[in-house]
C-alpha cells in the first residue's frame, strides 16, 4: 500500500518547485529586454503554473487537503540574485543563465521523484510529461552557446 504521507511530502516539494519556476520565469520576463524572450519566459511561467495546478490536484487526491501554493525561500533568493545580475548589466544573458540554473535543479528533483519506488505510476506519468520540456531545453542549452542559447526556449 502506498505511503500517503510520503507521496504528499514529495508532491508538496514539487509544487513549491513549480511555483518557484513560475515566479522565476515571470520575474525574468519582467526584466527581459528582447520582446520575443519576454514572451517565451511568460509562456514558460504559465506552463509552470499549470504543472503546479496538476500536482496540487494529485496532492488533494492523495489526502493533502491544504496545499501550499507558494514557492520556497531559496527560490525567492535565487530570483533576487537573478534580478540583481540583470540590473547590474547582465541583461538577457543573465536572465537566461538564471532560468537555466533553476531548470537544471528542477530537472534533478523531478528525476529523484520519478525514480522513487514509492511513487505511484499515475504520478510518475504526470512527472515524466512535465519533465519533458525541461529536458528538451536542457539538452538544447548543452548544444548551444552565446546568443544562440535562446533556442533553448523554442
pTM metric for this prediction: 0.76
- The closest alpha carbon to 71, from 28, 124, 12, 111, belongs to 12
Q: pLDDT tens across 75-132, in order? A: 444 444 444 444 445 678 888 888 888 888 888 999 999 999 999 999 999 999 998 8
Q: How does residue 33 score in pLDDT terms, banded at 50, 70 and 90? A: confident
Q: How far apart are CA 8 and CA 4, in angstroms?
A: 6
Question: How far is Cα 12 from Cα 4, in angstroms, rounded to an integer?
Answer: 12
Size of the chain, expressed as the number of residues it contains: 154
Range of the domain at 109: 4-153
Number of folded domains in the chain? 1
CATH number at residue 59: 1.20.1260.10
Q: What DSSP designation does 118 have?
A: T
Amino acid at each position: 500500500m502506498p505511503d500517503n504521507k510520503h507521496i504528499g511530502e514529495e508532491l508538496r516539494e514539487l509544487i513549491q518547485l513549480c511555483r518557484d519556476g513560475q515566479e522565476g520565469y515571470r520575474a525574468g520576463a519582467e526584466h527581459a529586454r528582447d520582446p520575443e524572450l519576454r514572451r517565451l519566459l511568460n509562456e514558460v511561467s504559465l506552463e509552470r503554473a499549470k504543472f503546479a495546478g496538476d500536482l496540487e490536484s494529485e496532492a488533494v487526491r492523495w489526502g493533502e487537503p491544504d496545499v501550499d501554493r507558494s514557492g520556497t525561500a531559496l527560490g525567492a533568493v535565487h530570483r533576487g540574485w537573478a534580478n540583481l545580475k540583470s540590473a547590474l548589466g547582465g541583461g538577457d544573458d543573465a536572465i537566461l543563465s538564471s532560468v537555466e540554473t533553476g531548470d537544471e535543479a528542477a530537472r534533478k528533483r523531478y528525476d529523484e521523484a520519478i525514480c522513487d519506488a514509492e511513487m505511484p505510476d499515475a504520478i510518475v506519468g504526470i512527472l515524466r510529461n512535465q519533465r519533458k520540456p525541461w529536458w528538451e531545453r536542457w539538452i538544447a542549452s548543452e548544444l548551444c552557446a552565446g546568443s544562440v542559447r535562446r533556442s533553448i526556449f523554442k
